[in-house]
Amino acid sequence: MTTTTTTVFLLVISCCFLWLCLPFPLDVEASSAAKVANSQITVMGLVYCDICSNNSFSRHSYFMPGVEVKIDCTFKAMSARTAELVSVSVNRTTNRYGVYRLEIPSVDGIECAAEKAIGNSCRASLIGTSSSSCNVPGSTRTTTDEITIKSKQANMCIYSLTALNFKPSKRNVALCGN
């Protein structure tokens, strides 16, 4: 797989997991009333095991549950009189699908932003895994700050961070080739 194909594949996979992992309002009246409220922001991403150590998701790769990830976000809150920065720093553990998620409740003045220039930013860093077979941080990155906006509704904004990965300490030549 090429890097572009892998990126597209991971974005499609993250969208699928998004539907599995997030509750969505089904009540149209409730959704209409929420348009007045501030944005609820969800930050999410994936962690996978790069079995063949080729820095991409392959047919032998799998999503990793139980991985510790640190998420740092900064949001610019705008009001009529001030501009404030709100920072959030938390550790999260991936679920059985390899997804980590941070839900930030509605805060006055914070809105969903499509551009980094507006002042919202998030990054995720690998802390560690309990896996003994796939426990070496991927060679391309242990931190990601590349954000894709997955949903931008009046009351909900979902930021998806680029996938992070671990790899085995030794490459399985029988499985992956030279």
- Give DSSP secondary structure letters for 28-39: HHHHHHHTTSPP
Any domain includes 154: yes
7-65 confidence digits (pLDDT tens): 434 444 554 444 444 444 433 334 444 444 556 788 899 999 999 888 888 888 999 99
Residue 122 lies in a domain: yes
**Average model confidence (pLDDT) for the chain?**
74
Q: Residue 87 falls within a domain, yes or no?
A: yes
Percent of the chain whose pLDDT exceeds 70 = 61
Residue 148 lies in a domain: yes
**56: closest CA among 3, 18, 134, 97?**
3
For residue 42, what pLDDT is reported? Answer: 87
* CATH code of the domain containing 111: 2.60.40.10
> pTM of whole model > 0.85?
no
Arithmetic mean of pLDDT, 74-97 = 83
Report, as an integer, the average pLDDT of 78-90: 78
DSSP state for residue 21 in the 8-state scheme: H
Tokens standing for residue 93: 């553990």
In terms of DSSP bridges, do strands 156-161 and 40-49 run parallel, antiparallel, or are they unpaired? parallel
Range of the domain at 50: 38-172
Among candidate residues 41, 31, 116, the one with its CA nearest the CA of residue 71 = 41
Per the structure, how many domains does the chain have?
1
Residue 12 has what DSSP assignment? H
The encoded tokens of residue 94 equal 């991936």
Query: How many residues can be counted in the chain?
Result: 178
